[in-house]
Structure 1
Amino acid sequence: MPTSVTMPRLGESVTEGTVTRWLKQEGERVEVDEPLLEVSTDKVDTEIPSPAAGVLTRIVVAEDETAEVGSELAVIGDEGDDAGSAAPAPQQEAQAEPEPAAPVEPSTEKPVEAEAPAPQASGGSAEGTEVKLPALGESVTEGTVTRWLKAVGDSVEVDEPLVEVSTDKVDTEIPSPVAGTLLEIRVGEDETAEVGGVLAVVGSASAAPAAAPAAPAPAPQQAKPEPKPEPKPEPTPAPVIESKPAPAPAPAAPAPAPAQPAAPAAETVKANGAGDAGYVTPLVRKLAAEKGVDLSSLTGTGVGGRIRKQDVIDAAEKAAAAKAAPAPAAAAAAPAAEAPAAKAKPEPSPLRGRTEKLTRIRATIARRMVESLQISAQLTTVVEVDVTKIAQLRNKAKADFQAKHGVKLTFLPFFALATVEALQQHPVVNSSIDVEAGTVTYHGSEHLGIAVDAPKGLVVPVIKDAGDLNLAGLAKRIADVADRTRNNKIGPDELGGGTFTLTNTGSRGALFDTPIINQPQVGILGLGAVVKRPVIVNDPELGEIIVPRSMVYLALSYDHRIVDGADAARFLGTLKERLEGGHFEADLGL
């Protein structure tokens, strides 16, 4: 009985999702819980698994189309549908076998053009799968075939690149929708086809023998130079030095020429991301080829472990750094001034000069940031905090802390703990305002958002009830949500419901910034870089002295509609006092 695949609810406030890519095509078999398609929402990108085993009989929502929660995305047929659809094919293929014996084919063997009718006949009788030109952009109506990567009679695998196509906006590869044999090419190179037009026909692998004779045909032609008995005559005219025709065996070098077809095969393996790489998009393959990155050596960080563009860029940067690393070793004997010259030229970003469509997440971030500035009256107050005591405690306890809890002890958990304690004392900063209803809600829990620099943009997962956690609990939760966010494994419900947000801009060396409030919250705290600076302190014996101290700027952006400047100052004062006191020994077991 057919099973309907519907759009699941991917979060409390999520009402719709956009299909970004189908991982299976109509007619393909799927297993229970096997990834079927990728969906993007305002909060998260994820895969939708198949609810049943069977055959994907119909795709209802195409790529780049949006569907509401609960609406039908596709239909999975049961096992009988798979067997039924496959049964007629062998019969038709069997009918195709006697056709070579028909008088038509001997008559078409005259020129080499006989190869074209042969696959066409097998394609027509085998009812092969048509390879159509997909929609490659909203305004793209046609594409030009620039190069066929396979010839008629070649075998192809599912998702293996079949043809390169160029449009007004993009050059890309079209993969084969099924495994089998390329029976017919309908659009030649440099010819143009409309979107939805048939480019080729791929049929069952049983049709391969029809094209097989074509392959041996050139073989005998190359074999003709091989039977040259010239190597034997060479010893006879040995006295005659004119036997320099002996280089004639050099034409035997063409013998390796057949090995050249093997080279493209190797390239195909690499281009397809064979080995551990799995299927990757044409864009990633092209970028990997440009950067000289072996896809089979990469571990993907995308959905389902797929290799993303950023993975290739990171691998290329590591390779460049590795090449530059031996330079200092070699430069040990050379003047020291040459070493910086090797590092002086970083590779430019591949994004230079390109125009790309905004991802759904980036478009959502852009919209919400502007809305936040339009909704609330925002300003920022900054204080400077001496965290020397925390730095000393951290250096003393970080080794034991990591061994005991399995995460590194950074400054962030100290700031998080001090923040939730300050929020409990100053609930106006942990509130939300409803102007239309004329109400303000002082939240009874501290749901702490942590801004994470993810590959797709800034994402803010939320640690619910952060006020109930100790220092170790916060450290583990922060590390957990940050890791799952960067690897696209965070749940949609973990990206909403925050009452206050921390953003650690200091992780990239910034001293401070003026962060934008994450609506409907009324406050966000920016953490600057912890740096050592000379500071004047009062010594009981020496009086005012200048000493190096670990200092940090804390920048609180707040909604002036409900939080006054004095409220912000009191909140920051409480935070400063807690951090400079540095009384975290009990939390660290010291």
Structure 2
Amino acid sequence: MGRYTFRLPDIGEGIAEAEIVAWHVQPGDTIAEDQPIADMMTDKATVEMESPVSGTVLEVAGEAGDTIAIGSMLVVIEVEGESEGEGTAPATTVEVAKDTVEPALPDADDDAPEAIETPEPEPQGEPVATPGPVHTGRVLASPAVRARAKDLGLDLAQVRPATDARIRHADLDAFISYNAAFATPGAARADEAIKVIGLRKRIAQNMAASKRHIPHFSYVEECDVTELERVRAQLNAARGDRPKLTMLPLLIRAICRLIPDFPMINARYDDEANVVVRHGGVHLGMATQTGSGLMVPVIRDAQSRNPWQLAREIARLANAARDGTAKSDELSGSTLTITSLGPLGGVAATPVINRPEVAIIGPNRIVERPMFVPDGMGGERIEKRKLMNVSISCDHRVVDGYDAASFVQELKKLVEAPALLLADGG
């Protein structure tokens, strides 16, 4: 018998090291060629490493959460024959995992700013959960699904996928809901010690770096979105086969209209070079909740898209982030980020900046309250109106308080006067 040393290959992103997110094999396991052996996370993606040979695993490099250098030993495999060997194999990107530092966006209703995250697809065909084993071979699932199942203590072999052989987050949700009906209530859960690895580790590192390096300040203003909501309803009534408009595409449209007059908002700050780059295009990041953690898919050149195009791109990117098909370039390069908790958005927020950007905008929940409005005869009357607070956090090294306040006030004008927002046919 011989020994084959499989070394961590260059994943092609110019990186020097990668973090072990999860092992699919352990010493003593018999594996086949092309069988997944480990999930490795770089700064931008989680990749699934596959074995280039068949044999028995003799040794693995470290535990989940450890970082190893490119070219170093990942796993040693006992193979047929007497010769020693070593090599690498191409890595398969199975789930892009860009870091984020902000709360993400659950689904919104018609009275709330849009949540970035789109709903799980409804199960089709037969029920997606059963109380007994349903798999007879290898379980297909992304690293994010595997990690979530491990955290929940679920055996993926017990979960039936809804549409094909791959188990997705929707299948886990359905399985949990099915089995919850038969759970015994009142049992206390044992304490858990959960190692912070993978995407959660990246989030923690980025959030700490953002707060450590950036002097944040936040500003909040109340906007009357009654007329904007009325216009949105009219547009949706005549949308045809176009996607349904929520509040978010209209807010993005307003933001992009203002950026030429407030270029300091759409910028990135290089701390080491001490250079601020004010970007001409608005590459808008959307803080998004996924089953594997918080991610920031990016709408490229948002300033060039109309509300319908924005709505379609928002849905596409959110779905790609959730199901693990988002590409690396779709999760990097944002110049400004928007974050919202939709109907859970509360009164106001102080969002954390997605470094190296210098600003982040957070629309909050829409609420109905009585307000004094002009009665058209020089007086006022009380009327029920839809109100929404807009929060902005800025890097005080780059953006002055006056500039941030002026930007939000101009945003308020556009939001409260939809005719101005859509005057150019947007």
Compute the TM-score of the two structures, normalised by the length of structure 2.
Answer: 0.71
2:9 aligned to which of 7, 10, 35: 7
Counterpart in the other structure of 2:31: 28
Deviations 1:217-241 (A, max 9, x none): xxxxxxxxxxxxxxxxxxxxxxxxx
Q: CA deviation at 1:422?
A: 1.8
Q: CA deviation at 1:451?
A: 0.2
CA distance in 2, matches of 1:516, 1:361: 17
Offset of 1:369 from its aligned partner? 1.4
Between the aligned partners of 2:189 and 2:42, the Cα distance in structure 1 is: 24
Instruction: State whether residues 42 and 360 of structure 1, in contact with CA within 8 Å, keep that contact through their aligned partners in structure 2.
Output: no
**CA deviation profile, 1:277-298 (whole Å, cap 9, x unmatched):** 9378797598458xxx993444
The separation in 2 between residues aligned to 1:350 and 1:472, in whole angstroms, is 49
Query: Among residues 139, 148, 151, which one is paired with 1:278 in the alignment?
Result: 139
1:313-340 Cα distance to aligned partner (Å, 9 max, x none): 554336658x9xxxxxxxxxxxxxxxxx
Q: Distance in 2 between matches of 1:417 and 1:379?
A: 24
Native 8 Å contact 2:135 2:157 kept in 1? no
Q: What 5-or-longer segments of structure 1 have no aligned partner?
A: 86-268, 324-345
Alpha-carbon contact 1:7-1:72 (below 8 Å) kept: no
SS at match of 1:578: helix
- The CA deviation at 1:312 is 4.0
Q: Does the 8 Å contact 1:18/1:40 carry over to 2? A: yes
Over 3 Å counting, the alpha-carbon distance change for 1:461 and 1:348 in structure 2 is farther
C-alpha displacement at 1:362, in angstroms? 1.5
Q: Does 1:362 align with 2:200?
A: yes
> 441, 449, 462: which is aligned to 2:285?
449
Instruction: Give the Cα–Cα distance (whole angstroms) in 2 for the partners of residues 347 and 43 of structure 1.
Output: 41
The answer to whether 1:48 aligns with 2:60 is no
**Which of residues 394, 397, 417 is equivalent to 2:253?**
417
Cα deviation per residue 1:179-237 (whole Å; 9 max; x = unaligned)? xxxxxxxxxxxxxxxxxxxxxxxxxxxxxxxxxxxxxxxxxxxxxxxxxxxxxxxxxxx
Distance in 1 between residues matched to 2:151 and 2:341, nearest whole Å: 33
2-structure distance, mates of 1:461, 1:575 = 23
Aligned equivalent of 2:241: 404
Structure 1 contact 447–463 (Cα < 8 Å) conserved: yes
Q: Distance in 2 between matches of 1:48 and 1:276?
A: 19
Residue 38 (str. 1) matches residue 39 (str. 2): yes
Query: Which letter does structure 2 place at the counterpart of 1:316?
Result: I
Distance (whole Å) between structure 2 residues aligned to residue 399 and residue 59 of structure 1: 64
- In proportion to residue count, which structure has more helix? 1
Q: 1:534 to 1:496 in 2, by over 3 A?
A: same
Please name the residue that 1:179 is paired with. none
Name the structure 2 match of 1:243: none
Separation (CA, whole Å) in 1 of partners of 2:223 and 2:12: 41
What is the rounded CA distance, in whole Å, between the counterparts of 2:211 and 2:31 in structure 1? 48
The amino acid of 2:54's aligned partner reads V
Mapped to 2, the partners of 1:12 and 1:418 lie a distance apart of: 37
2:245·2:307 contact (CA, 8 Å) conserved in 1? no
- Note the 1:58-457 alignment, pairs <5 A: 61-62=60-61, 63-64=63-64, 65-69=66-70, 73=74, 272-274=133-135, 278=139, 287=153, 295-299=158-162, 305-306=166-167, 312=172, 315-317=175-177, 353-398=191-236, 400-401=238-239, 404-405=241-242, 407-434=243-270, 436-457=272-293
What displacement does 1:554 show? 0.4
Correspondent of 2:294 among 444, 448, 458: 458
Q: Aligned partners of 2:308 and 2:401: how far apart in 1?
A: 33
Quote the Cα distance in structure 2 between the aligned partners of 1:543 and 1:570. 28
Unaligned ranges ≥5, structure 2: 83-129
Amino acid at match of 2:205: R
Q: How far did 1:360 drift?
A: 2.3
Find out whether 1:529 has 2:365 as its counterpart: yes
For 1:345-376, what per-residue CA distance to the aligned partner results, in whole angstroms no more than 9, with x for missing partners? x9789977322112322122122212212212
Is the partner of 1:526 in helix, strand or coil? Answer: strand
Count of residue pairs brought into register by the alignment: 367
Residue among 385, 396, 407 paired with 1:560? 396
Displacement of 1:526 in angstroms is 0.8
- 3-state SS, counterpart of residue 424 of structure 1: helix
**Residue type of the partner of 1:40?**
M
Deviation at 1:511, TM superposition (A): 2.6
Query: Relative contact order (C-alpha < 8 Å, sep 6+): which is higher?
Result: 2
Query: Could you list the per-position Cα deviations for residues 115-147 of structure 1 after superposition, in whole angstroms to 9, with x for gaps in the alignment?
Result: xxxxxxxxxxxxxxxxxxxxxxxxxxxxxxxxx
TM-score (norm 1): 0.53
Runs of 4+ in 1 over 6 A off after TM superposition: 2-5, 57-60, 279-283, 346-352, 586-589
**Contact 1:272-1:285 within 8 A present in 2 as well:** no
- Which structure 2 residues correspond to residues 456-495 of structure 1 after superposition, within 5 A? 456-495=292-331
- How far the C-alpha of 1:447 sits from its partner, in A, is 1.5
In 2, the alpha carbon distance for the partners of 1:75 and 1:27 equals: 12
